[in-house]
Amino acid sequence: MRTTETNSISDRGVEMSAGQASPATAAGGATASTTATSVAPRDVGDTKRRGTRLWVMAWRNLWRNRRRTLLTLSSIVFGVFLAIIATAMQDQNWADMIDLAARLGGGHVSVQHPEYVDHPTITRTVSADERMLSVLEGDPEVKAVMPRVLGQVMLATAGESAGAGVIAYDPALESTETLSALEAIADGEPLEDSPDGGILLGARIVSKLGLDLGDRVIYTLTDTHGEIVSGLARLKGIVETGSAAADSGLALLPIDALREVVDLGPTEVTQLAVFLQDQRRTDPAAERIAGELDQEGSEAAALAWYASRPELAGFIAMKVGGARFMEILIAILVAAGIFNTLFVSVMERMREFGILSAIGWSPGKLFGLVMLESFWMALLGLIGAAVVTAGPYFYLANTGIDVAAIIGSQMDIAGVGMPSVLKVGIFFENLVIIVVFAVLATLLSGIYPAWRAGRVEPVETLKIV
């Protein structure tokens, strides 16, 4: 109280010095000027100290009821922990599945004949000449471009037959980075870049046909003239992906060998698989590639991965939507707990707020005090969440959870196998969203209690015992 009175007297002294001319000032204005100049810095310093005291007071108010504050902080920590771990699992899991789907066939963006999606025949081709490849490889988002011929074949031995989808690729260009089946060769070796480079088959097809490595298998399909043609290849390797759909219906051939059988030109392909640096950039990359193809006068179409795999895209969208709903629900519950803590705290201190208002605190200052308490709560909650989340996050990021060992088999969605080891890896923008959302939820929870504190009536609240 004494400090307040002193400041008021100082302020009045400044007003008198600046607004009323005393006889001494009339004789020489230097005295008034000197007085005003010497007082002003003290006023600025007082303002800064009052601001600092408000932060300190808000911090101390949090710990007046330690148990309630700790319970509220634990809810913030738990909510942020769940949000980060759940989002990190989704980000890593779906990114891995999308990349795997791209490496199973058409890449992140497929460049193909515009009618190929509706009528996938070997007659609907595009040219993988140098001009086309230079257009695609010149895009800054593109990591690799792989020419492929896709189709359906009938496989036969002396006593058995089975249908399969064939991917004809260039063994000299492709690796496990662009064709995931190559890393799933359980027995044998990759294909060779030669007309008789062999054939790779899924493990279940091999079992059905009763084949061993080195055995001959006949593959039959329709050529570009509509004629039924056949080729002969020796079993070079057995592919075991863990996906029932892939292992029972996948055949791999050298692209030149299949071109010769179906009478395709040396640059003709049914698909150019375009691989990107980041699958999240698929939409702008596909639009940009389509525009570049139009400028070059090409009739080829550029399709994003989800256009060729709508089942997988729908599954991921459903899972992401469900997870977002759960995260919002958790955030609402946490915000309700924060609101309850701050509101009860304010109602318990109404007499105190009335006294502060009576001695000169403005409604804005009382409002700011409670909002600072909310800010401290948010800051402490985020620090606690970082400490609690760090250990489990780094363990899951480096070691993961062996899902296949738990459920006994690998799951696949729309022919794409889910990762057998579940790891986490959150995208930076999603982490920022979680942090910002947690801070905003905490601050918004404090607005109404702060408003109630700012509208306190000193006369009424001083009656509270």
Residue 129 and residue 256 in one domain: yes
Asked whether residue 369 is assigned to any structural domain, the reply reads yes
Last residue of a domain, one of 252, 275, 299: 299
Last residue of a domain, one of 299, 333, 349: 299
Instruction: Give whole-number Cα distances, 407 to 303, 403, 420, in Å.
Output: 35, 6, 10
Residue 327 and residue 447 in one domain: yes
Asked whether residue 8 is assigned to any structural domain, the reply reads no
Amino acid identity at 386: A
Residue 264 and residue 370 in one domain: no
List Cβ neighbours of 320 (8 Å cut-off, separation of 6 or more). 90, 94
Residue 130 and residue 271 in one domain: yes
Asked whether residue 85 is assigned to any structural domain, the reply reads yes
The reported pLDDT for the residue numbered 10 is 36
Residue 161 and residue 289 in one domain: yes
Residue 294 and residue 324 in one domain: no
The reported pLDDT for the residue numbered 109 is 92
Residue 152 and residue 257 in one domain: yes
Residue 178 and residue 274 in one domain: yes
The total number of structural domains that make up the chain:
2
Asked whether residue 245 is assigned to any structural domain, the reply reads yes
Look up the domain containing 349 and give its range.
51-97+314-461
Residue 205 and residue 284 in one domain: yes
The reported pLDDT for the residue numbered 395 is 92
Residue 274 and residue 365 in one domain: no
The reported pLDDT for the residue numbered 463 is 62
Give the global pTM: 0.72
Asked whether residue 209 is assigned to any structural domain, the reply reads yes
Residue 360 to residue 342: CA distance in whole angstroms: 23
Instruction: Give whole-number Cα distances, 63 to 60, 161, 264, 369, 459, in Å.
Output: 6, 77, 78, 14, 28
Residues of the chain with pLDDT under 50: 1-45, 47-48
The 10s digit of each residue's pLDDT in 106-124 is 889 999 998 888 888 888 8
Asked whether residue 138 is assigned to any structural domain, the reply reads yes
Residue 79 and residue 131 in one domain: no
Asked whether residue 45 is assigned to any structural domain, the reply reads no
Residue 158 and residue 225 in one domain: yes
The 10s digit of each residue's pLDDT in 45-89 is 454 455 568 888 888 888 888 888 888 899 899 989 999 998 998
Q: Kind of pairing, strands 161-169 and 250-254?
A: parallel
**Coil, strand or helix: which one is 452?**
helix
The reported pLDDT for the residue numbered 401 is 84
